[in-house]
Amino acid sequence: MKTIKRILIANRGEIAARIIRTCKEIGIETVAVYSKEDTDSQHVLLADKAVCIGPAPAHLSYLNVGVIIEVAKANQVDAIHPGYGFLAENAGFVEKCEEAGIIFIGPTADNMNLMGNKIAARITAKRAGVPVIEGTEGSLEDTASLSEDELDFPLLIKASAGGGGKGMRIVNNINEMKAAIQEAKKEADAAFGDSSVYIERYIKNARHVEVQVLADSHGNVVHLGERDCSVQRRHQKLIEETPCIFIPNEMKKKIYKDAIKLCKETDYTNAGTIEFLVDMDRNAHYFIEMNTRIQVEHPVTEMVTGIDIVKEQISIGEGKSLSVKQSDISFAGHSIESRVNAEDPDNSFFPSPGLIDKFIVPSGLGIRVDTFCYSGYKIPPYYDSLIGKVIVVGKDREEAINKLRATLSTFVISGIKTTIPLHMKILENRDFIEGNFNTKWLEEAFAESNEKVSVN
């Protein structure tokens, strides 16, 4: 068991700033790494020390394993926290940390190889008796071995690595297959350095429900409830909430049980998220993947449980037991998160990097804003467009929706376009308010001519 006194954060943006806040709270020094383009980013300003690791392109900076390890050694850090994205689910990076005697705050390389890779995760889930969607057993290299008679369209091509909707394509017939596979492989390789993809049956009108888990190296595993992440655009989550009002308690218990079962099957450690699809008739749930890292949407879980997931990650990394048992965990209220992106929803979500003139963050009881931006900050064009997350908690879903709507209306961002107007329309939409939505709802609610959400 080793006490962590200094952590290098191998990431950028809001997640890096968020990790730094917890480190400061528990008295841990932080070392930030940044690209030249991120010199003025908030995580650089907040960390105890910051080191430039290269030019803007991620493969020359945030994905440069050798440089990051060298910086970690030079600054005598005890551990590295990867956040999400970039190297967060890279088993090779975990092994390099271990070789350097540095704690990786996350699961083991074996965990990642089993569950971070979606193909291996499907095989593992089937072995554990957890239901999965029918699909190919291994990586798909080309269409030569595929017969139209054997394929049940529509199908979903998925990258075996990473997440965030990258490397995913819906295919409706055999004629679309070849181009879709090549596009998915190219996008996956650029995002994760792994071009492998596979195919599974596409379930229409499903709900995306995930379970947050924590597991230590002593065999203890707990779940922190579920999140409904069904409001998506092109497989990218826009709004997440907990609890999920769609599924009954008996199904929730089954999903929790399967999530815990998978963790125990793989001797999983640290934080993770088990993702499921639930059909619209609530007849079945299917395991789709596990995110072997902290999630973008983890704050909604923190808001209803009062558990700091990053703090637990660090403690687990030190070799300690979980600070809570399942019987200790309770859920209070309803929490919703809105992801704010620098995009123009009235112009096909075209990216909107540039100088922020004004950035006034809302505050109040039950309101949390995770961001790395500020007035006068220039958003670079090289990275993910997420600039902040607005999270609220209310006594019930109605209060949470009203609070999030009021909070977004007082979030002042000028100089760039953001998705806040879109979120306001979603929160006023009757289907959303009544809970009548699925993973394709948002796209289908858009008018093709102007891609604006209709408000009924």
Give kind and range of the element (H or E) at residue 237. strand 236-242
What are the Cα distances from residue 157, in Å, to 125, 187, 201?
19, 12, 9
Mapped onto helix, strand or coil, the DSSP state of residue 33 is strand
- CB neighbours of 322 closer than 8 A, spacing ≥ 6? 214, 215, 216, 220, 222, 312, 315, 316
293 noted as active-site residue: yes
Residue with tokens 């004629």, as numbered in its chain: 175
What distance in Å separates the CA atoms of residue 205 and residue 280, rounded to the nearest whole number?
A: 6
- CB neighbours of 27 closer than 8 A, spacing ≥ 6? none
Query: Active site residue: 12, 227, 293, 339, which one?
Result: 293
What distance in Å separates the CA atoms of residue 219 and residue 224, rounded to the nearest whole number?
A: 17
236-242 and 221-233 strand pairing: antiparallel
Give kind and range of the element (H or E) at residue 252. helix 249-265
What are the Cα distances from residue 267, in Å, to 93, 110, 116, 164, 222?
20, 9, 14, 25, 13
Q: Looking at the annotation, which residues are catalytic?
A: 293
